[in-house]
Structure 1
Amino acid sequence: MLTFFNQGKAEKPLSSEAQSCLQLVRGYWEALRYAGPLPSRGDIDPRGLSGVLERVFLIERVAHGQARFRLSGMHLHDLLGMDARGIPLGSFFEPVARTRLTDELEQVFSHHNILTLHLEAERSLAQPALAACMQILPLAHDNGTQQLALGCLVSEGRIGRSPRRFAIAQLHHETITLPGLTLVSSASKTAPDRRMTAPRPALRLVSSRD
């Protein structure tokens, strides 16, 4: 079971709805990878992700450890308070977390890692406690170079005033060996930048240039 790490408190499990979203996206990716070393952008059919599209995103690598959104579901729009297409992935993170994100994201693109981030949002009077989990799955680029990744972002709590930005409470990565894509290692790390804090029916996926 996926859980949120919370220093000094009991671990808080994800709701069954949030767990199901992450499992559906991961299962869809796992099913596609049998067509080749990694699924490609062209393999993805939004119909296979129906019901969770508002939490799904597609990112492309633009520099070392840097990525921007090519596709984004409406839940990401709600968290950011604006259309996420073309926006850097780091926009969802507090400044102190972005360096850590850069290092870990590069592992997704360069070493075929599956990255899971357990997140906790900054809080203020109009921004209540909000936890989230982001999972990023590597994809093969259409020209044979790995530059894309499929992701899912679920949150637990009321969004309040946007934008909501997150600290990394914990991360977990799984390294994949090609061509068989056997998971060979995993690691779970507590992030030093973590801060101490406590369904919508209409779904759609929007694209900037697909």
Structure 2
Amino acid sequence: MCGSGDNKQGVVSMTDREKERRAAPLRLVESYWRALAGDGQVPLRSQIDPRGIESALPYAFLAERIAPSLAKLRVAGTHLNDLMGMETAGMPLSALIAPDDRDRMGEAVARVFAEGALARIDLRGEEGFGKGRIEAQMLLLPLRSDMGDMTRMIGVLVSQGRIGRTPRRFGILHAEVTPGLSATMTPAPAPQRQGFAEPPAAFSPAPIRPVAAPAKRAPYLRLIVSND
């Protein structure tokens, strides 16, 4: 394709452009997650609005922690279903990974949940009959549940290459886990007094006075005895 390439020969690599296009969902979801984490805390699962990542939805998924190093897919995009040739919601995330590399995936998952870390993983599909060369990138980002515990995550999986015969499982080429955000809730600061407001006076209860006994009243009826 003609253009202004770096080789000064008017050639632009279509492969590079395709990689950039494929990586767009990864960038979109990470940017959206960082915007939600503007206060320096891991976002809540309830803050995720699908409309904010609409173009990345086929590649995105939501998962829940079921063990220190295991996550279960709760919602999965159509691209994950296409790779596995079946509905992936309800499956463990490790089902997408080749058995020999599931321990490495578990280590990354455990750090995402325990440290609020971000995991970027480069993958290559297993090859065989009807399964040609395919590569993929995965991004894992932590989320908090409504209770405040870090037991949720949002992720993205984007592949390059013909899917071919399913299911397609992936080996890990490289995994990078970087520090994330704190999940600790920061207490709200105490309200400041404004202007010339005076401190409130201390409350002093009134002294307890003894209650006087009720006065005896004369009877309403009087018995008069007459012997006449």
Q: Which of 162, 175, 181 is 2:179 aligned to?
A: 175
Q: TM-score, normalised by structure 2?
A: 0.71
**Amino acid paired to 2:118:** I
In the TM superposition, residue 29 of structure 1 has moved relative to its aligned partner by 0.3
Q: C-alpha separation between the residues in 2 aligned to 1:23 and 1:167?
A: 22
Q: Which of 97, 100, 114 is 1:96 aligned to?
A: 100
Structure 1 moving runs of 4+ over 4 Å: none
Identity, % of aligned positions: 36
What are structure 2's unaligned runs of at least 5 residues? 1-14, 185-228
Count matched residues.
169
Residue 17 of structure 1: aligned partner = 21
In the TM superposition, residue 143 of structure 1 has moved relative to its aligned partner by 0.4
Residue 37 of structure 1: aligned partner = 41
In the TM superposition, residue 177 of structure 1 has moved relative to its aligned partner by 4.3
In the TM superposition, residue 176 of structure 1 has moved relative to its aligned partner by 2.0
Q: C-alpha separation between the residues in 2 aligned to 1:106 and 1:98?
A: 12
Greater RCO, 1 or 2 (C-alpha within 8 Å, sep 6+)? 1
What are structure 1's unaligned runs of at least 5 residues? 1-11, 181-210
Bigger Rg, which one: 2
Q: Which of 48, 52, 60 is 1:48 aligned to?
A: 52
Q: Residue deviations 1:62-110, cap 9 Å, x none?
A: 0120011011000000001111111000100111101111112100000
In the TM superposition, residue 178 of structure 1 has moved relative to its aligned partner by 2.4
Which secondary structure does the structure 1 equivalent of 2:73 belong to? strand
**Amino acid paired to 2:129:** L
In the TM superposition, residue 142 of structure 1 has moved relative to its aligned partner by 1.0
Whether 2:72 is the aligned partner of 1:68: answer yes
Q: C-alpha separation between the residues in 2 aligned to 1:49 and 1:135?
A: 14
Q: C-alpha separation between the residues in 2 aligned to 1:65 and 1:177?
A: 19
Aligned-pair RMSD on alpha carbons? 1.7
